[in-house]
Amino acid sequence: MFDIGFSELVLVFIVGLVVLGPQRLPVAIRTVMGWVRTIRGLAANVQNELAQELKLQELQESIKKAEELNLSQLSPELSKTVAELKESAQKMQEDLADAKGEIQALTDDRVMEIQRNIEQESQTLQAEATLQTEEHKLPLADTQLSPAEIAEQAEADEENLSAYYPPDDDLAQSPPTKQDNA
């Protein structure tokens, strides 16, 4: 890559030793070597990419030449093979079209069946909903409590709550003071 001889390398080493000193020279050499490796790797990548591009370009040129020669100049065996390939491709397309039609018909039938089931379910749910609303519209006279029953219920609730809360009398009393004790 570069024409650098041994004597030139020794001269660069001595100058680097004088300028950088013995402590920083190894670090500088490692850094420069890393740069050189990176540059070599990039150069190799560029060479590989150029070689691949040249191969692709050559292939494209050979394909264009083959197209220009026309199929009539091909050997009879090759032209027969091309015709067979065209026939098989056409048959595949027809088979795919038939399969597509069958699948479309099956999916249409299935969609119709699902829609019918949905309609039946929605009608059933509507009927159930109307029955439930009619049941809830019953007169409320049977469920209302008399004033005596309401009072009994309030007393029962108060007894249940008394287990959690202290009686009101304890809250009304003030804490004993020093004057009360004397």
pLDDT, tens digit, for every residue of 70-116?
655 667 777 788 788 889 889 989 988 898 888 999 899 889 999 99
- Please say which residue of 69, 89, 116 terminates a domain: 69
Q: What tokens does 81 get?
A: 């093979």
Distance between CA atoms of 151 and 36, rounded to whole angstroms? 99
| Four-residue CA torsion sign, 56, 57, 62, 67 | positive
- Please say which residue of 95, 113, 134 terminates a domain: 134
Q: Could you tell me the residue range of the domain that residue 80 belongs to?
A: 75-134
**Residue 155: partners with Cβ closer than 8 Å, 6 or more residues away:** none
- Please say which residue of 134, 149, 176 terminates a domain: 134
- pTM exceeding 0.75: no
Residue 142 has pLDDT above 60, yes or no: no
In a domain, 139, yes or no: no
Contact criterion met (CB below 8 Å) for 25 and 17: yes
